[in-house]
Amino acid sequence: MEHWQNEPVKKDRIKGIVRRRDDGEGWGVIDAAETPGGCFVLFSDIVGVRYRNLRAGERVTLTFDCPGFRQDGYDYVERQVWQEEGV
């Protein structure tokens, strides 16, 4: 991809929806228009005081990078994730 040849792409906060999760390994995938193909997420990067877990279909806010390599098959990697209040 063209952006791999430059500095990593850093974006502001965006909205996304959790596609899948792997509770045993502590990671998941978030879909957003700005991250075609999905964004890899580690549960340890969830911001908040609640138990750090995501549910498929849950709406979240995230920041992400495109580091220039594929993380577990995904071009995009989240940096921080915020769960919606009251979820």
- 11 lies in a domain? yes
Domain span at residue 47 reads: 2-64
Whole-model pTM: value is: 0.80
CB distance 44 to 76 below 8 Å: no
- The answer to whether position 6 is within a domain reads yes
The domain that contains 53 carries what CATH number?
2.40.50.140
Q: Which of 32, 39, 28 is nearest to 17 (CA)?
A: 32
Q: What is the pLDDT of residues 4-25, one digit of tens each?
A: 444 445 568 999 999 999 888 9
Q: What is the pLDDT of residues 38-57, one digit of tens each?
A: 999 998 888 876 677 888 99
Query: Does residue 69 lie within any of the structural domains?
Result: no
What's the number of domains the chain is made of?
A: 1
- List the one residue out of 71, 64, 57 whose CA is nearest residue 83: 57
Residue 77 belongs to some domain of the structure: no
